[in-house]
Each structure stands twice: as C-alpha cells, then as structure tokens.
Amino acid sequence: MVGQSTYVQFILAILKLIARPNDSEQHKLIIDVLCLLTPEFEKENHLFILNHIHLKSKDFFKKLERQFRFKLSLNNLSKLSVLEAAESILESISLLPSSDPFLNTFIEDIFEFSTTESQTISGYLKFWEKQENTLRIKTPEGTNSISVMTIHQAKGLEFPVVILPFMDTVLNSSNIKNKIWYPFKEEPLSSIKWAWINASKNIQLYGVQGQSLYDQYVLEQKLDAFNVLYVALTRAKDQLYIITQEVAKEGASTYAELLKSFINNQGGTLDENTSFEWGEKTLKKTAETEEETSKEEKIKIQFKTSSLWKKKLVVFNRPTKESILAQKKGLLLHDVLAKVTHSEKLSKVIEESISKLNFSGETISFIEKKIFEIVHHPILSPYFKSDDVVLLEKDILVPDGRTLRPDRVNLLADGSAVILDYKTGEPKEEDTLQIDSYGSIYETLGYNPVKKFLVYIGSEIRVENCS
C-alpha cells in the first residue's frame, strides 16, 4: 500500500500544510520522519516536538531549515502545480531515498492525475482521500512474488504454483439479474414479438416454448461454468492447490460436487479433516528457470523518481509563418491533384476546391499556377489527356500487412501502368524507395511495363523518371 509508506506520508504532510497551514498533526509527522532519517537527532526528538509543533507553519519550516539543513518555502510551493511541488520537495530534501519504489509509484500517480484531472494541490488531495487505501506499488513483471487475480485475468497465463480458493461455485446461477429474450408467437402478444425478461424458473410455466428456453439457458450457464473451471485447472505448471467445501452428495450442480465425484472415482475421500493428494508434489527446475534465478540474483531493479524536469526540458523552435503557409500550400496542392483525373476537368475541379477555402488571392493564384504546370508538363501531359483508368490515392493492401497509397496511377489498355507521386522539398533517397515499392506491387499484379515518375513541386516543376 503506497499510502502506508513513511516517505509518502511525509510528502503528503507538506502538501496538506500548503493547502491548510498551521496543522500541528502534520508538523509532528514531519518531525518523526526527519528523525527517522537522521538517527543522531532521535534523542532530541521529544524536546524538538514540544518546542516547535504548535508554531505557525512558516516559522516551523524555518526551524527545520536550521536543524536539518534544507530549505523549503510553503509560499513558493503553493505557486507550483502538485507535480512540481512534490518533485521540488524530493529535490530539496536529499535525505529522502531517490530510488524508493513507493515514492516512485506515488509520483506516477500524481502525474497521471495531473494529465487528466487537475494540477492543483487541493484537487489532488481530495482525489487522494478517495483512493489512499487502494493505490498499491507497481512491481515489474517477473518479480519473485505472489500474483492475486481472477480466473478470467489468468486466462492464457501459466504459473509454477496455483492456489484456487472458494471452488464451490454453483454451475447454474439463479441470479435474477440475468435476462433472456422471450419470443411472443401467439396472440394477443404476437405484435410485440420479443420481451427482455428475468431468466427465472418461472419461465418453465410458459408452456413447451418456455421449458425449452429455460433448459437452453441452464445448459449455457453450465457450459460457461465448465469453461471457467477448465481455465482455472490448467494454469498450473507444477502444483495446483484447490480449496473447496465439504458436500454430502456427488453431482453436477456445484464445483464442490464435481470435485467430490472425481475424488471418489479415484478411491479417495474428501471432508474438512481429510485432504486429497494426486500426483507428485515437486517443482521442476529446468535450465531455463535456473538461468532466470541467476539473472534475478544479478539484476537489481532501480526505481528512481523523476525530478529537475525543467532543467532537462528541450524546447524546439516554433515553425515560422512562412513554413506553416508552405505546408498548407503543399497539402492543398495534393488535395486538388487528388481530384484531377483528366485535363478537361481541371477548371471545374479548381473552381469547386478553391472556392470553399479561405485563402488569400496570392495563395489561390499559386495553387492554380502549379496545378496548370503539372497537368501541362511535357512529360506528364499525355497521362492527363488519355482515356486511361485513373486511380487517385487508392489504397493497395499488401500481403505483409502494409497499406500503400500512390498519389496517381494510370492503368493503360495495353496492360502497362504509370505511377505519379507528388513531393515537396528536396529529393530524398526515401522517395525513390517508396515509388519503387509501388512499382513492384503493380508488377506483381501483372502490369508490365510500369513507368514511375516523382514530381517535385517547388519554384519549378521537376520530374524524375524512376522507371
């Protein structure tokens, strides 16, 4: 339990004093922890408490500063977010262990709260009151420990030893909260067709149909219970311990009755004074587990709280207005080109696309000019005038799970294909690799030959033939 940690209580006490100063109870807790961290001062603990516990918090921390040589200002802390305040306390008081796992989990909890709820100290303290008895330390997977979980959580996992308590569940639950759909096939309720009703034994009184539905419901309940039992019994690799109830009869209405039937069939007995053992009680130690054990002895997991984050913060330059405008122009060009199948439709596409946009006349003129240059480029113009089947930004689903999307593909009547891919900025090796991957896919689909063109849009239109 994180809330039971002395160090966590120490930080909480300071946070509480920020929100509600002059609390002698919190003063007492702080002194106790500081004395615990400095054993040489333990003899003076009682006298220090007697003389300082009832001071105002401002004066109280001044006394602590002189006695324990750390500086902490509640006024300065009150101006920070709860995360900054907690980390500032850790930074100021070097006596606190920086690798304590309870502190690490506590700081993580504050961080998660700050990102989703509130960053105020009072806001977190209210939140802490609700969950202080539930927050537990986060231990890494693979730690030598006991895991407590439900059967559903354990599905798909294996453990050397499994203990199953309370294995006396009823196979057919009579929980009245369970519902089933009942069909109305006869008058006067046939117009309603279906009803969402309680799955109680009374359904059997509704005739043959009711009896059939109830039998089906009972069967499904038992199958679910058997599936859960199967999962529970197959989690153990070496040893399985089952704790159930003593029952008078054998049968199949509870797990306890099933287990009794099994034990009796093995020639054993089961009651509250007699346990039943089956198989050999051993733990298999393989080379793999020995290696893991040796690793556990060598590797020590270090928990470390994050602090001084402001000093480690890297600030990137903000993009300029010019770079943002250039990016928007590039996106707009792509959007318009994704609608131009043939040159005769160019005017209509430009009119429909640009009229809806809130751009300056200069930007619109630039877009129109560049699209005109592309469509009428001496190398590219034949592919905008022909009657080819044109695919604009159509996804290609590749067997390895990737999805490729060329900007434009012309499928010619002679079985060949032409791929155009638009780029802004300087040519890069990745551009060629990308269009080559497009070409390979269309060759695999049976198109031959496949021509590939990279179209670089800048002050001039540059076309690179990658065929």
Q: Is residue 143 part of a domain?
A: no
Q: Quick one: tokens of 246?
A: 């003593």
CB atoms under 10 Å from CB of 421, counted, come to: 21
Give, as one character, the DSSP assignment of residue 53. Answer: T
Residue 145 lies in a domain: no
| 186 lies in the same domain as 82 | no
Residue 38 is given by DSSP the state -
Q: Of 218, 246, 265, which one is at a domain's C-terminal end?
A: 265
Do residue 25 and residue 122 come from a single domain? yes
Tell whether 115 and 164 lie within a shared domain.
Answer: no
DSSP 8-state symbol, 318: P
Tell whether the model's pLDDT for residue 19 goes beyond 60.
Answer: yes
If one counts every other C-beta atom within 10 angstroms of the C-beta of residue 21, the result is 16
Average pLDDT over residues 195-212: 80
Mean pLDDT of 153-163: 86
The CATH number of residue 426's host domain is 3.90.320.10
Judgement on whether residues 333 and 435 belong to the same structural domain of the protein: yes
- What is the pLDDT confidence band of residue 402, given thresholds at 50, 70 and 90? confident
Left if phi > 0, otherwise alpha if psi is -120 to 50, otherwise beta: which for 193?
left
Q: Tell me the C-alpha distance between 315 and 309, whole Å.
A: 12
Assess contact for 2 and 138: CB atoms under 8 A. Answer: no
Per residue in 101-156, pLDDT (tens digit) is 888 888 888 888 888 787 889 889 999 888 888 888 766 666 677 888 888 888 88
Tokens of 416: 């060949």
Same-domain status, 105 and 225: no
Question: Measured between alpha carbons, how far is 203 from 198 in angstroms, rounded to an integer?
Answer: 9
Domain count, the chain: 3
Instruction: Annotate 120-130 with b (16+ C-beta within 10 A) or e (fewer).
Output: ebebbbebbee
- In this structure, the chain runs to a length of 467
> Could you tell me the residue range of the domain that residue 365 belongs to?
321-465
d(CA 466, CA 453): 6
CA 126 to CA 205: how far, in whole Å? 54
Separation between Cα atoms, residue 464 and residue 467, nearest integer Å = 9
My answer on whether 241 and 326 are in the same domain is: no
Distance between CA atoms of residues 160 and 236, nearest Å: 6
Q: Are 333 and 439 contained in the same domain?
A: yes
- In the prediction, which pLDDT does 142 show? 61
| Nearest-angstrom CA–CA distance, 245 and 233 | 17
Cα–Cα dist 91/310, whole Å: 12
> Both tokens of residue 414?
């002679």
Q: State residue 318's pLDDT score.
A: 65
The answer on 108 and 18 residing in a single domain is yes
Among 227, 249, 265, which residue terminates a domain? 265
Please give the average per-residue pLDDT across 90-101, as a whole number. 79
Residue 306 above 60 pLDDT? no
Mean pLDDT of the chain, nearest integer: 81
For residue 151, CA distances in Å to 25, 155, 156, 175 come to: 44, 6, 10, 20
pLDDT tens across 274-303, in order?
Answer: 888 888 877 666 545 555 555 555 545 455
Give one DSSP letter per residue of 112-135, joined into a string. HHHHHT---HHHHHHHHHHHTTT-
